Amino acid sequence: MEANTDDAYRSGYVALAGRPNVGKSTLLNALIGEHLSIVSAKAQTTRERVSGILTARSYQILFIDAPGLIEPRYALQEAMRLAANNAIAEADVIVVMIDGTRPETMPDDETLDSLRARSAPTLVAINKSDLIESRTQARLSEAVDRLGWPALLISATAGEGLDALVERIVPLLPESPPLFPEEGTATQPLRFFAEEFVRESCMDLLRDEVPYSVMCRVDEFREERDPVFIGIIIYVERESQKGIVIGRGGSAIKKIGQTSRRKIEELIGRRVYLELRVKVLAGWRRRPARLRQLGFQLPANARGANKGNNRPRVG
């Protein structure tokens, strides 16, 4: 994806913003060429920002996949909205994503006001271009035109329009040398991706409300071993959920472990010994103190939140 035609090297941050389930994580993975951000058919999968680095001869882009922009109803969603807002505030360029098959994924008025208050250049990426019906496309085009930002049709799954999107982004970036090592593809440590891959497996393999009540944190990580030893605690909110995650005779957690281990090994190119344990952290999604214990940041006005939101992660 070589897009810069002038002599200046350009580097910067690009926030992928939009409602849940519009394809932000799929787009990040497609642009970087790595499975970095977890993908699920279930809504609100992304809880913490994931960053991917795209480096070419004349530019470097740090794409930020942030949680979907939603109106928070409880503490975890407040933390997710804060993460999304922070990503937008830090961005040199903002890409607002819309699911072209669902016009209702257009940003709401409050989100539009906050985006327009930013001075960062903004583009609109209309995802699933290969699936948009002609009637929907006409209605969507009219709505997008009213936003007043340049729009591009893309398909994150099919890889269509991604080069054109990068070509539009690069000239908008500031002139700067690379911000990160050129061989890197992500800014988070391996332990973060190990946690996320286990949670992704839970999202895929567990049913009903249980996946939304799961949070994963590394308890032990020994990269000097062969195989690499990774111990992860799967937190749930209720004792009944613990039994579901474990499964009859340990069948569910065994499947979660096998699926997750393959993903981690593919990412790092080494053998992994993955040890999973399940613990109950009662009502963690709605209790600010529990969320801080898990390492989430909360807005200063969140119910029960204290100033100074940086907290060490469990483990």
| pLDDT per position as a tens digit, 24-47 | 999 999 999 988 898 877 777 888
What pLDDT shows up at residue 231? 98
Over pLDDT 90: what percentage of the chain?
65
Looking at the structure, do residues 34 and 88 belong to the same domain, yes or no? yes
Looking at the structure, do residues 125 and 30 belong to the same domain, yes or no? yes
Which of the four pLDDT bands, split at 50, 70 and 90, describes residue 315?
very low
Alpha carbons within 13 angstroms on the beta-carbon side of residue 127 total: 25
Which of the four pLDDT bands, split at 50, 70 and 90, describes residue 166?
very high
Given a cut of 80, whether residue 308 has pLDDT beyond it is: no
| Structure letter (DSSP) for residue 183 | T
Q: Render pLDDT for 43-67 as a digit per residue (tens, 0 to 9).
A: 778 888 899 999 999 999 999 998 8
Looking at the structure, do residues 79 and 209 belong to the same domain, yes or no? no
Looking at the structure, do residues 281 and 154 belong to the same domain, yes or no? no
Which of the four pLDDT bands, split at 50, 70 and 90, describes residue 310?
very low
Tokens of 223: 């990269």
Mean residue pLDDT across the chain = 89
Domain at 43, CATH number: 3.40.50.300
Nearest residue to 235 (alpha-carbon basis) of 198, 190, 289: 198
Q: Render pLDDT for 239-293 as a digit per residue (tens, 0 to 9).
A: 999 999 999 999 999 999 999 999 999 999 999 999 999 999 999 999 999 999 9
Decide if 157 is inside a domain: yes
Looking at the structure, do residues 124 and 216 belong to the same domain, yes or no? no
Containing 278, the helix (H) or strand (E) segment is strand 272-280
Looking at the structure, do residues 26 and 84 belong to the same domain, yes or no? yes
Looking at the structure, do residues 98 and 207 belong to the same domain, yes or no? no
Euclidean distance between CA atoms 14 and 87, whole angstroms = 8
Euclidean distance between CA atoms 103 and 251, whole angstroms = 41
Decide if 305 is inside a domain: no
How many CB atoms sit inside 10 A of residue 175's CB? 11
What pLDDT shows up at residue 233? 98
Nearest residue to 303 (alpha-carbon basis) of 77, 27, 87: 77
Looking at the structure, do residues 262 and 223 belong to the same domain, yes or no? yes
Decide if 4 is inside a domain: no
Q: Which of 172, 206, 239 is the C-terminal boundary of a domain?
A: 172
Which of the four pLDDT bands, split at 50, 70 and 90, describes residue 72?
confident
Containing 134, the helix (H) or strand (E) segment is helix 134-147
What pLDDT shows up at residue 42? 73
Looking at the structure, do residues 213 and 165 belong to the same domain, yes or no? no
Euclidean distance between CA atoms 186 and 167, whole angstroms = 21
Decide if 310 is inside a domain: no
- Domain boundaries, position 227: 190-293
Number of domains making up the chain: 2
Decide if 307 is inside a domain: no
Return the sign of the alpha-carbon dihedral for residues 296, 297, 302, 304.
Answer: positive
Looking at the structure, do residues 152 and 40 belong to the same domain, yes or no? yes
Is the overall model pTM greater than 0.75, yes or no?
Answer: yes
Looking at the structure, do residues 26 and 80 belong to the same domain, yes or no? yes
Domain at 198, CATH number: 3.30.300.20
Which of the two residues, 304 and 161, has the higher pLDDT score? Answer: 161
Looking at the structure, do residues 17 and 100 belong to the same domain, yes or no? yes
How many CB atoms sit inside 10 A of residue 221's CB? 16
Judge whether 76 and 235 are in contact, CB under 8 Å. Answer: no
Tokens of 104: 């209702």
